[in-house]
């Protein structure tokens, strides 16, 4: 995933430089380091305060620590991985003469997802916003992404995301892919897509992305993983005096405020 994200980011920079110019070597350096390290917070033992033998790990938030149960995977660090990543950057690059740790931390912060509503997280066009775009496009344009959904479902299960979103099987996660892309991802990536259109490799990335979206949107809706697509109910609305249930998976992704991916 990290290498795909970094390669996507490099094509975004190439397109940006072709269209606008002005991408300096320093810009490239900080952007690429940001992408290479954007998910490093998932790695156990990467922070100086991590105590792997005791199952205790730095959260990156006010010096806090979290204990993981025996057998917990790195997915259990999902709620903390962005802050842990920024802590790693501070520990490794703080005070460096050439590398601006604060810029890298700003870029990593904007990969937080779902995107917070704060104004500081609404950038879509500058390097921080383009870091988020590279992360999202790199993940969803992976030619093997749909094959990885089963594993992703069980990662979500470990951290409670499935319960929040109402997913009961990997098929539920797969069926939601199209809505997730259009509602949760697309609003943050148009600028990056425009830059990718300017290079041959970028066009291939876009083709891979929409091949995944197209495949899921055109699959039979009654059978995925051999199960019917019955939807869990979340809320209801009144339609001409008749109560109509709204499936939880028809909600916009931004409505789920208690996620931290």
pLDDT given at position 260: 57
pLDDT given at position 13: 98
User: Does residue 246 carry a pLDDT above 60?
Assistant: no
Confidence of residue 253 (pLDDT cuts 50, 70, 90): very low
Given a contact cutoff of 8 angstroms between Cβ atoms, the answer to whether 139 and 35 are in contact is no
pLDDT 10s digits, 8-35: 999 999 999 999 999 999 999 999 999 9
φ, ψ dihedrals at 57, nearest 5°: -135, 145
Q: Smallest Cα–Cα separation from 88: which of 121, 129, 128, 57?
A: 57
| Residues paired with residue 238 on neighbouring β-strands, in sequence order | 243
- Which residue did the predictor score with more confidence, 245 or 145? 145
Write down the mean pLDDT value for the chain.
89
Confidence of residue 148 (pLDDT cuts 50, 70, 90): very high
User: Does residue 239 carry a pLDDT above 50?
Assistant: no
Confidence of residue 165 (pLDDT cuts 50, 70, 90): confident
pLDDT given at position 231: 45
pLDDT given at position 220: 83
Please identify which residue in the block is written with the tokens 């990467």.
46
Residue 114: asked if its preceding bond is cis (omega within 30°), the reply is: yes
d(CA 216, CA 212): 6
Q: What is the DSSP letter of 116?
A: P
pLDDT given at position 222: 53
pLDDT given at position 164: 87
Q: Which residues contact 202 (CB under 8 A, 6 or more apart)?
A: 11, 12, 14, 15, 195, 196
Supply 251's token pair: 């909600």
Q: What angle do CA 34, 37, 40 make, to 5 degrees?
A: 150
Q: Which residues contact 107 (CB under 8 A, 6 or more apart)?
A: 30, 31, 34, 35, 38, 127, 128, 131
d(CA 195, CA 230): 39
Q: Smallest Cα–Cα separation from 135: which of 188, 178, 92, 172?
A: 188
pLDDT given at position 89: 98
């Amino acid at each position: 995933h990290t290498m795909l994200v970094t390669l996507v980011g490099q094509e975004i920079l190439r397109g940006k430089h072709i269209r606008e110019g002005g991408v300096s070597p320093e810009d490239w350096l900080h952007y690429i380091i940001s992408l290479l390290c954007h998910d490093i917070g998932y790695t156990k033992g990467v922070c100086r305060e991590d105590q792997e033998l005791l199952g205790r790990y730095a959260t990156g938030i006010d010096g806090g620590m979290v204990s993981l149960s025996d057998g917990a995977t790195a997915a259990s660090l999902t709620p903390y991985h962005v802050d842990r990543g920024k802590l790693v950057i501070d520990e490794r690059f703080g005070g460096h003469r050439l590398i601006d740790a604060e810029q890298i931390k700003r870029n990593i912060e904007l990969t937080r997802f779902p995107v917070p509503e704060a104004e500081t997280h609404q950038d879509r066009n500058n390097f921080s916003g383009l870091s988020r775009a590279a992360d999202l496009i790199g993940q969803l344009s992976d030619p093997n992404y749909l094959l990885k959904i089963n594993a992703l479902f069980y990662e979500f299960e470990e951290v409670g995301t499935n319960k929040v979103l109402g997913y009961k099987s990997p098929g539920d996660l797969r069926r939601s892919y199209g809505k997730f892309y259009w509602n949760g991802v697309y609003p943050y990536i148009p600028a990056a897509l425009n830059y990718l259109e300017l290079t041959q490799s970028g066009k291939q990335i876009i083709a891979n992305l929409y091949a995944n979206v197209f495949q899921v949107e055109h699959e039979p809706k009654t059978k995925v993983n051999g199960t019917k697509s019955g939807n869990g109910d979340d809320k209801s609305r009144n339609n001409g005096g008749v109560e109509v249930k709204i499936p939880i998976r028809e909600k916009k992704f931004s409505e789920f405020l208690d996620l931290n991916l």
